[in-house]
Amino acid sequence: MQERLSLDDARVAIIAALAARRLAVETAGTAEPASLIGRTLGETLYAPIALPPFANSSMDGYALCAADLIEVDSTERTLPLQGAALAGAAVTRLLPGHCMRVTTGAALPIGADCVVMQEQCESNAQLIRFNTAAIPRAFVRNAGEDFEKNQLALRIGTRLGAAEIALLHAFGMATVRVFARPRVVILAGGDELKASGEKLSFGQIYESNRASLSVLLSDLGAHVISAPIMADSEAAVASALAQAARAADLVITTGGASVGEADFLPNVLRELGHVNFYRVRMKPGMPALFGEIDGKPVLSLPGNPVSVFISFLVLAKPAVEMLCGREPSSLSPFWLALAEPIRKTHARREFLRAALVHAPQGVKVRALEGQGSAMLRGLVQAEGLIDLPEGECTLPAGALVAYLPLRGLLD
């Protein structure tokens, strides 16, 4: 068992352990788009049809051959109207020297090479006056200009979001091959914890970690199994862990992994399985633990809600991504100047909840007040995290620091 790893080494250990455990690929229907959110494409996808499949108009207006308008008297610029080409109708052929009414999305008539928008035209019975010059290919969407048939569209391992799912439907795909959703059991432990809606006694608090983890996991494409709150006893922890390992592809626990009298997780995990590492040199989140039971990975996070949230993003998220068939996301920061000085008096790597400051000199970043690991206010207000490296430091205003936008961490 390794102890007090750096965050980078802990991430490497988790990724290495999960590399060979990616789940099987299965077929999923596309009829319910929301069911695909967060899932991972299980095959490289080539365009089954061209997009668009035919040349069409991008405007309501009049289709014509630009050369015909050039040849008419420049003071008149009128062409006889042949008829209309409507979206969804079969393609028609344009007579030489004529124009045709066309709607957005309608197939470009054969013989036409451009569209003039209706706002630049005047209709007089069966004659159309054009108040602007005609330019070849203007307001025409060419066949295959978005995707040619058999062109690479999406690579295996792509996380499906709204844009990717829209593309599947634009291709007319009724099914798609995706990696199976990892089953993740969430265990929260502590005699002081009560579920929302229950009555609190003095000394008790409402448990929120299962809720935040459920949202984070669901957004990544996991199937979440939330178990009852574990009592603070070695037997209860052992029973809950054993049951979770039988039901899950990954077990995530919160609380019970520190060094208190009721922190049974480290010893129980050693007895039931194997501990890969225990404790990580980071703040918040130091009492993180990673091991396995019967071949099922177990990641134990701290109990405080901010510690859970941040340690999930930097430690648990790579594990879920590996199971889902994706490459683990990296911690790639922006470098911003501090709006206010920071002093760090400990040696661990630290993640500070932070907000952006928009100043005439440019965007800066400041650490929010109330950085306690049980204080959710700062997490709600945070736009990102300041990532301070290991070692004590005193940084003046204006010093460059690594900044991780929360939006990027959550994607």
What is the distance between the alpha carbons of residues 167 and 175, in angstroms, rounded to a whole number?
13
Burial level of 14, CB count in 10 A (0-12/13-18/19+)? buried
Q: Which residue has the tokens 């970043």?
A: 365
Q: Are 383 and 336 in contact (CB under 8 A)?
A: no
The predicted structure's pLDDT at residue 256: 79
**pLDDT interval class at 380 (50, 70, 90):** very high
Domains of the chain: 2-23+181-324 (3.40.980.10), 27-49+155-179 (3.90.105), 56-141 (2.170.190.11), 334-410 (2.40.340.10)
pLDDT digits (tens, 9 = 90+) for 297-343: 999 999 999 999 999 999 999 999 999 999 999 999 999 999 999 99
What is the distance between the alpha carbons of residues 254 and 287, in angstroms, rounded to a whole number?
10
pLDDT digits (tens, 9 = 90+) for 5-39: 999 999 999 999 998 888 999 999 999 999 999 99
The predicted structure's pLDDT at residue 226: 82
pLDDT digits (tens, 9 = 90+) for 196-244: 999 999 999 999 999 999 999 999 999 999 899 999 899 999 999 999 9
pLDDT digits (tens, 9 = 90+) for 132-162: 999 999 999 999 999 999 999 999 999 999 9
Task: Tell me the pTM.
Answer: 0.88
Question: What would the mean pLDDT of 252-262 be, rounded to a whole number?
Answer: 78
Q: Are 77 and 116 in contact (CB under 8 A)?
A: no
Q: Are 372 and 411 in contact (CB under 8 A)?
A: no
Over 80: is that where the pLDDT of 261 sits?
no
